[in-house]
């Protein structure tokens, strides 16, 4: 158990999400703060999309607020609330961590893509030359798509129930990576080597599956970014059909140090 010694000098960090119960950043970063002797604490901020701007406007006025990790569904909206962005965040149009600088300005970064790819590579899964289907076209999908293209994926297909969003994201990545075949498509995973769920489907019992499970085959790698539950319905269905499955936790494991350090914490 982490022993917290809150003082008047404690630096405040957060994770911003809706829903919030599934997040893992407090359990991961608070022990690191304690081990480093850092007087800081990371707490969950459960905030709706309608109230996100008000929350951040208030936190700008709090000098001991250092920053926050950002997750669904706020990654794209948070990017618009920042005063400056890293190159990766600007490219993705989304952030998964924001830092409050001394003047109250907010600086955003995106580590999802590199964390995702690092997690795959650490598990022995190749990216170069692979054909990837990504369910979703939000902030996480954007960061992951740009990173997969940078790591040499041969083709990337985005499926989103609102097709225009998938088409817009595909066009942005294709413009930066003309050698990668980037398109919008449907929920059929046939013809792909890697199938990735970046949607919120799987957080609640009874959620629909992100792709057509009948078209999953044993030669495919099924990848999740949801961390709680550790095994989603998509992962169970893919495993039952002989697919190799890769859970959501490695993506966070690979980027948690980058997130902490971006916010100024010695982790």
Which positions are annotated as active-site residues? Answer: 75
CA 114, CA 145: separation in Å to the nearest integer? 10
Q: Give per-residue burial for 140-177: e unless 16+ CB within 10 Å, then b.
A: bbbbbbbbbbbbebbbbbbbbeeeebbbbbbebbbeeb
CB neighbours of residue 229 within 10 Å: 17
Q: In whole angstroms, what is the distance from residue 161 CA to residue 245 CA?
A: 24
- Three-state SS at 66: strand
CA dist., res. 252 & res. 119, Å (int):
8
Helix runs in the chain, H state only: 25-35, 52-59, 75-81, 87-92, 112-122, 139-150, 163-176, 233-240, 249-262
Greatest CA separation for the chain:
57
Alpha carbon distance 154, 127 (integer Å): 9
Q: What is the dihedral of CA 238, 240, 246, 249, to 10 degrees?
A: 100
Instruction: Give the CA count within 13 Å in the CB-facing half-sphere of 41.
Output: 12
- Give CA torsion, residues 29, 35, 40, 46, to 10 deg: 20
């Amino acid at each position: 158990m982490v022993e917290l010694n809150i003082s008047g000098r404690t630096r405040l960090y957060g994770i911003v999400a809706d829903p919030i119960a599934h997040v893992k950043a407090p359990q991961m970063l608070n022990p690191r703060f304690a081990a480093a002797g850092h007087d800081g604490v990371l707490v969950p901020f459960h905030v709706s999309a309608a109230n996100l701007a008000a929350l951040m406007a208030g936190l700008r006025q709090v000098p001991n607020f250092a920053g926050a990790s950002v997750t669904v569904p706020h990654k794209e909206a948070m990017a618009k609330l920042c005063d400056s962005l890293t190159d990766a965040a600007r490219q993705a149009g989304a952030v998964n961590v924001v830092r409050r600088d001394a003047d109250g300005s907010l600086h955003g970064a995106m580590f999802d893509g590199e964390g995702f790819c690092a997690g795959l590579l650490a598990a022995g899964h190749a990216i170069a030359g692979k054909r990837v289907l990504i369910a979703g076209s939000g902030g996480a999908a954007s960061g992951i798509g740009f990173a997969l293209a940078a790591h040499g994926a041969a083709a990337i297909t985005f499926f989103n129930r609102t097709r225009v969003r998938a088409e817009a994201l595909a066009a942005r990545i294709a413009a930066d990576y003309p050698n990668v075949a980037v398109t919008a498509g449907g929920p059929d995973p046939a013809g792909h080597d890697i199938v990735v769920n970046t949607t919120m489907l799987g957080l609640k019992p009874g959620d629909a599956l992100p792709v057509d499970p009948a078209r999953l085959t044993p030669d495919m790698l099924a990848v999740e970014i949801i961390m709680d539950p550790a095994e989603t319905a998509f992962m169970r269905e893919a495993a039952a059909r002989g697919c190799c499955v890769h859970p959501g936790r490695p993506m966070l494991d690979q980027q948690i140090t980058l997130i902490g350090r971006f916010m100024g914490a010695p982790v």
